[in-house]
């Protein structure tokens, strides 16, 4: 079985990399962080015009009509470049949810805007830090409105469409809430990655509609998380790969005792460990992309493998990146902390790797 991408898909990836290199998103990420801004609006506009936001959206809804394989490669390049844009929650979660389970009316209303970037989506399940279980969700939908508090939520202050996990009376489900309207209070809080803002949403009678008309079930939410985990894994792999490359470049250019420190055996072994973890994560991400794009029954376990290995690889790569840069690795002027911040954020976005390990064990036991 061949899990590799086609030449056409690789060309799309190269085009994306060239575009991002030209627009220096790493510099933009630093500028957003230093200015206290929310995102790079020009880059967001640019990737929308390139069709990335609608990569998996059919052309009939204003999308590019590609698919999940192409979206996976775009996610990898966004992660590699540390693009300071609200790509993940809007594309991997909200767009995916509406594509898979939205009513025709919901697709007509939201997908064109999501593809064009005029609608920016975000996702909220947790209501307190560290509490991501469906059993802890207290926000509820009744009478066409949602009441409850969601925290932490990504891209607060940027997003104008919220996909929230709520109690529906029939169990947990998903509701669409238009932000900026009545009954919504948003507060931005300080997070680990200032180029991707976090916040708290208080929903006090916020008008909403259930996704698909009935909100789905716990199984729907689990399937959505699996899909988002695969796509997020590609973003993590992209960041991990760039962290290794930057570490190699720095250690090749730094000399001690008349030779590059990259030639010292201790650093060689550590970079080999980084490479090994990244390759494991890449293989798992490819497997997850295959399962996602084909609707294979292996998706639940493939998503767990992709999520766990990508979290481990990115966390390890950025930690070693700081260590092997020596004293300057801890300074603001070098980019190590930017990658480490993003690794921490993405490692918490959909639940920790520990939670996904528990999920994998449960799913394997059920087979």
Phi, psi of 200, rounded to the nearest 5 degrees: -120, 135
Q: Are 109 and 165 in contact (CB under 8 A)?
A: no
Q: Are 203 and 183 in contact (CB under 8 A)?
A: yes
Average pLDDT over residues 308-335: 95
Query: For 167-202, what is each residue's pLDDT tens digit?
Result: 998 999 999 999 988 999 999 898 889 888 899 999
Average pLDDT over residues 334-361: 95
Beta bridge partners of residue 202, listed in sequence order:
149, 185
The per-residue DSSP string of 108-161 comes to HHHHHHHHHTSS-EEEE--SBTTB--GGG---EEETTEEEEEEEEEETTTT-SE
SS3 of 220-231:
HHHHHHHHHHHH
Q: Does domain 121-213 have CATH number 1.10.3720.10?
A: no
Q: What is the pLDDT of residue 26?
A: 85
Query: For 7-28, what is each residue's pLDDT tens digit?
Result: 999 999 999 999 999 988 888 8
Domain boundaries, the chain: 7-116, 121-213, 218-366
Q: Which fold has domain 218-366?
A: Butyryl-CoA Dehydrogenase, subunit A; domain 3 (1.20.140)
Q: Which fold has domain 7-116?
A: Butyryl-Coa Dehydrogenase, subunit A; domain 1 (1.10.540)
CA torsion sign for 190, 20, 226, 179 is: positive
Q: What is the pLDDT of residue 33?
A: 87
CATH topology of 121-213 equal to that of 218-366? no
pLDDT averaged over the chain?
Answer: 94
Q: What is the pLDDT of residue 1?
A: 62
Q: What is the pLDDT of residue 180?
A: 85
Query: For 294-313, what is each residue's pLDDT tens digit?
Result: 999 999 999 999 999 999 99
Average pLDDT over residues 98-124: 97
Q: What is the pLDDT of residue 115?
A: 98
Distances (CA, A) of 69 to 3, 107, 198: 10, 21, 29
Average pLDDT over residues 242-262: 93
Taking alpha carbons only, the member of 110, 210, 205 closest to residue 161 is 110
pTM of the model: 0.96
Query: For 61-85, what is each residue's pLDDT tens digit?
Result: 999 999 999 999 999 999 999 999 9
- The band of 131, judged by pLDDT with boundaries at 50, 70 and 90, is low
């Amino acid at each position: 079985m061949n899990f590799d991408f086609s030449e056409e898909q690789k060309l799309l990836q190269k085009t994306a990399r060239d575009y991002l290199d030209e627009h220096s998103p790493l510099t933009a990420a630093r500028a957003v962080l230093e200015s206290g801004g929310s995102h790079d609006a020009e880059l967001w506009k640019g990737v929308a015009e390139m069709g990335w936001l609608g990569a998996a959206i059919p052309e009939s809804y204003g999308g590019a009509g590609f698919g999940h394989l192409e979206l996976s490669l775009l996610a990898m390049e966004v992660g590699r470049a540390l693009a300071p844009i609200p790509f993940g929650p809007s594309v991997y979660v909200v767009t995916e949810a509406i594509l898979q389970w939205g009513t025709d009316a919901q697709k007509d209303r939201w997908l064109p805007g999501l593809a064009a970037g005029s609608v920016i989506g975000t996702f909220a399940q947790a209501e307190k830090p560290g509490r991501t279980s469906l059993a802890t969700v207290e926000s509820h939908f009744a009478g066409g409105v949602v009441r409850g508090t969601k925290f932490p939520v990504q891209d607060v202050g940027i997003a104008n469409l919220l996909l929230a996990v709520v109690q529906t009376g029939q169990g947990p489900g998903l509701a669409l809430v238009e932000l900026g309207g009545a009954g919504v209070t948003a507060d931005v809080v300080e997070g680990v990655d200032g180029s991707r803002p976090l916040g708290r949403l208080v929903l006090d009678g916020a008008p909403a509609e259930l996704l698909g008309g009935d909100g789905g079930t716990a199984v729907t939410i689990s399937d959505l998380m699996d899909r988002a985990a695969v796509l997020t894994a590609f973003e993590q792999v992209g960041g991990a790969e760039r962290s290794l490359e930057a570490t190699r470049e720095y250690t090749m250019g730094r000399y001690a005792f008349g030779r590059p420190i990259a030639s010292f055996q201790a650093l060689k072994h550590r970079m080999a460990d980084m490479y090994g973890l990244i390759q494991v994560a890449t293989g798992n991400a490819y497997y997850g992309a295959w399962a996602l794009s084909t609707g294979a029954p292996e998706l639940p376990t493939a998503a767990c493998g992709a999520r766990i290995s990508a979290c481990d690889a990115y966390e390890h790569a950025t930690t070693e990146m700081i260590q092997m840069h020596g004293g300057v690795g801890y300074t603001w002027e070098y980019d190590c902390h930017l990658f480490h911040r993003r690794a921490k954020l993405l490692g918490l976005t959909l639940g920790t790797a520990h939670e996904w390990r528990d999920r994998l064990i449960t799913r394997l036991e059920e087979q």
